[in-house]
Structure 1
Amino acid sequence: MQVDCKYKEKCAGCQYLDLSLKEQHQLKKKHLLDLLNQAQIPFNGVLELTSPAPAGLRDRVDLVFDRGSLGLYEKNTRQILDIEVCKQLSAPLQSWLTEVRNIKWPIQKGSLRLRVGPQGQRGLWLDFANIDIKNLLEEKAILSGLLEKAHVEIGQRHKVLTKVGEQLKLTDPEPHIWFQSRIYGKPVDLYCSVGSFTQTGFEANRALTAVIETWLNDVDAQHILEFGSGIGNLSFPALGKSRKLTACEIDRDALAGFEKSVEALSKQSGFENIRDRLQILQGDFQNRNPQNFGTFDTVLVNPPRSGLKDFLKPLIAETRKPQHFLYMSCFPESFVEDGKRLQEAGYQLKRLHIVDQFPQTTHYEVLSLWG
């Protein structure tokens, strides 16, 4: 199956529109296996691949506004291609984009994140210059109209737009339900900001968390150390089966959302003791790691594109190592670099799984199990 897109000759967003889904999957598998081979990381198992859908997987999208055009960069230029319809968007997100496109923004340039939540609620994050924000607040009509349709956040600090009487105000960020994870195979609401990092869509994320949940059950994990917990997307699958979890994260806002999600879940029947099994640590764990790896049987990581950096240093010297290491990444190059260090620490690559949550592009999500 191929996705028909009228922008394929110009848009830089998708690279594989001329290929069938089967051909895309073959290329992605080959790319990953070639990287492992070049790094001399042996893998004797079967590389599995899950393809949730050929398109329509995005429930959030980041777009650039430039002098009247709202969309993505054109191929080989710095021009913005005005995009009315994107086949990568879910139907609710496409509907929201259509409405946002009707706004006549009185600015030159900025970026927008559009998001739909698990109950269909709409969110919009505007990252504009301070002078543009000031003018919009004074103009009132555009932002007031948006508030009738969506939750609106503005600026790098994700200030929340509110209306008090006839006055528009920006208040401190407050987490709301914008995403979902799972525990025991059931959905868990995740609190965060519209501008927070999450996976790109619900359907693909269900596939990702299902693999993580299955692997943790298969290795009978009991006490897990997690690096890069963010808002808790992988943390909740890790907390199934009465497991203990120590979650490490640098982003305070992400952890505020995580804490609120834990609080909400703990009020549900059967999860009253979940907080007792969870320790949350805030810090720069890429550049320092105070944890004693020997106290855990499993490590779970989902690092940024730059990889694990110094998080792995204590593990290499550790004599009593965790038995299992689960590594998830959307950047295969840093995954392979960290894989070399895992080999140095004595681990072997046991299982490998691609979730194709970015169809029509060269990108994909890697899940791996080391032991």
Structure 2
Amino acid sequence: MAKQSPPVKKNQTIELTFEDITHDGAGLGKINGYPLFVPYALPGEKAKVKVIKVKKNFGFGRLIKVTESIEERVEPPCNVFYKCGGCQLQHMSYEMQLTMKQKQVDDALKRIGHLENVPVHNTIGMEDPWRYRNKVQIPVGTKNNELITGFYRPRSHDIIDDMETCIITDEVSDRMVEAVRRIANRLGISSYDEEKNRGILRHIMVRTGQETKQTMIVIVTRKEEVPELEALVNELKETYPQLTSIVQNINPDKTNVILGKKTKVLWGETYIYDEIAGIKFAISAKSFYQVNPTQTKKLYDKALEYADLNGSETVVDAYCGIGTISLFLAQKAKKVYGVEIVPEAISDAKENAKLNHITNAEFFVGEAEKVMPWWTSQGLKPDVVVVDPPRKGCDQGLLDAIIEMKPEKVVYVSCNPSTLARDLRILEDGGFQTKEVQPVDMFPQTTHVECCAQIVLKK
């Protein structure tokens, strides 16, 4: 039988009807059964598309013109939306974004986890899905001998130089980035050139406390000695009284990792503080802290509801970070043990426990998959295990440890539906049952979705 070649050719222009949307926000249309993925197209629409890449089983296209649109299509409020790639869904109504995320989770559970009957609830959204990010990291470059700041274009290191503002970050962050750029430009501080590995100013990072309104500026430089740095700091602190802290981070390496190992406080405090649901957190330049505290509270409320604590339980929080979930749980549990591989996060967690006068939470540095079997051998039997792993999901050793420990309940907080579905399958095969999953929109206007899953030991 002759091999069928794709029904389209590169650079061909075609009419396409879209029937679905992918997890990364591209429209999916088919021509004679051959799938084409086209960014910014929405299901139910018809469009003129230019074919830009043809593979054996699927291809990619570029949207030229929408010929029949749906009412969920909206005008993106950001003037660099189509250049930037930081957000992927501003062309879609917020209701449609929430529906898409719920469907994405439901599809992953069925397709990857073979979990046909697990209820996936409607995504919990935000009343105002803009200006929610409390942290921004913006690269610095040069154009026409002037400093420029802006995010990179997708899959490149070209800075979008006409980016006036980022409408998903706190407005104070916008103003602070602009101020550092303007003053540094006037003082003649050079931007970093990554190809030649020379120049000074690499990134400007701003962190803000949503509740406290405290603000930290982190100036990321290639070397420690920076001409006119003192003048920059003096002008910033005199012009902007709301500033709490100005920090320098030194990153001498030829790398695209933003922060280097060494950090020093140039003026003000080492930490800014913020609060979620009455719990205080100390946040340093390098602390991991949720970027959307409004939605974090909704996510953690759900985790608490699923843990269903009455005050007599022992809880293990694997991947505990700076203790965000642990401290919530400690208010309702008898004892919480947190474990995390990053030593700085554990010292932050201990500080945060002290800050909140919480004495029933203990924190340990180590790999959860190694620490938990050791705890089991020491006779620790938790009633509840909470996991909040990175995007790659739980380590197999950790899942084995949970299956061995047989807690009554597992609460799984996930930032990746695919690895969540894979891990739920392993827990199901190990004697647990997934009761329900609640998606939460932590990152409106983007394709990311967080989930909280309630899992119980089968009787």
Query: TM-score normalized by structure 2?
Result: 0.69
Number of positions where the alignment pairs a residue of Structure 1 with one of Structure 2? 345
Q: State the shift of 1:139 in Å.
A: 4.5
Number of the residue aligned with 1:30: 103
- Residues 2-13 of structure 1 correspond to what in structure 2 (within 5 A)? 2=74, 3-13=76-86
Q: State the shift of 1:135 in Å.
A: 2.2
Long gaps (5+) in structure 1: 165-173, 267-273
- Residues 40-189 of structure 1 correspond to what in structure 2 (within 5 A)? 40-52=114-126, 53-67=128-142, 68-82=147-161, 83-103=163-183, 104=185, 105-109=189-193, 110-117=202-209, 118-130=211-223, 133-136=224-227, 139-148=229-238, 149-153=243-247, 154-155=249-250, 156-157=260-261, 159-162=263-266, 176-182=271-277, 187-189=278-280
Q: Contact conserved, 1:226 with 1:300, CA < 8 A, in 2?
A: yes
Residue 96 and residue 211 in structure 1: after superposition, are their counterparts in 2 closer, same or farther (change >3 A)? Answer: farther
- Residue 192 (structure 2) pairs with residue 192 (structure 1): no
Number of the residue aligned with 2:383: 297
Residue 247 and residue 61 in structure 1: after superposition, are their counterparts in 2 closer, same or farther (change >3 A)? Answer: same
Q: State the shift of 1:180 in Å.
A: 2.6
Q: Partners of 1:180 and 1:229 in 2: how far apart?
A: 17
Q: Partners of 1:95 and 1:139 in 2: how far apart?
A: 19
Tell me the C-alpha RMSD between the 2 structures: 2.5
For residue 61 of structure 1, give the secondary structure of its aligned residue in structure 2: strand
Number of the residue aligned with 1:344: 429
One-letter code of the match for 1:193?
S
Number of the residue aligned with 2:363: 280
Q: Partners of 2:272 and 2:334 in 1: how far apart?
A: 25
- Residues 195-214 of structure 1 correspond to what in structure 2 (within 5 A)? 195-214=286-305
Q: Identity rate of aligned residues, in percent?
A: 23
Q: Partners of 2:265 and 2:229 in 1: how far apart?
A: 14
C-alpha deviations, 1:147-204, integer Å up to 9, x for none?
A: 554412323235232369xxxxxxxxx852433333xxxx111113122111112212
For residue 339 of structure 1, give the secondary structure of its aligned residue in structure 2: helix
Q: Partners of 1:175 and 1:198 in 2: how far apart?
A: 15
Q: Partners of 1:280 and 1:215 in 2: how far apart?
A: 22
Q: Partners of 1:12 and 1:337 in 2: how far apart?
A: 28
Q: Partners of 1:361 and 1:111 in 2: how far apart?
A: 22
Q: Contact conserved, 2:245 with 2:271, CA < 8 A, in 1?
A: no
Number of the residue aligned with 2:20: none
Q: Partners of 2:319 and 2:294 in 1: how far apart?
A: 22
Rg larger in structure: 2
One-letter code of the match for 2:393?
G
Q: Partners of 1:81 and 1:200 in 2: how far apart?
A: 23
Query: TM-score normalized by structure 1?
Result: 0.84
- Residue 399 (structure 2) pairs with residue 312 (structure 1): yes
Residue 201 and residue 98 in structure 1: after superposition, are their counterparts in 2 closer, same or farther (change >3 A)? Answer: farther
Residue 325 and residue 139 in structure 1: after superposition, are their counterparts in 2 closer, same or farther (change >3 A)? Answer: closer
Residue 300 and residue 349 in structure 1: after superposition, are their counterparts in 2 closer, same or farther (change >3 A)? Answer: same
Q: Contact conserved, 2:309 with 2:332, CA < 8 A, in 1?
A: no
Q: Partners of 2:221 and 2:370 in 1: how far apart?
A: 32
Number of the residue aligned with 1:269: none
Residue 242 and residue 343 in structure 1: after superposition, are their counterparts in 2 closer, same or farther (change >3 A)? Answer: closer
Give the structure with the larger helix fraction: 1
- Residues 262-281 of structure 1 correspond to what in structure 2 (within 5 A)? 262-266=353-357, 274-275=358-359, 277-281=360-364
Q: Partners of 1:353 and 1:100 in 2: how far apart?
A: 40
Q: Partners of 1:219 and 1:345 in 2: how far apart?
A: 26
C-alpha deviations, 1:288-344, integer Å up to 9, x for none?
A: 53232960010011112222212222233x2x5001111112222222222222122
For residue 265 of structure 2, give the secondary structure of its aligned residue in structure 1: strand
Q: State the shift of 1:237 in Å.
A: 1.3
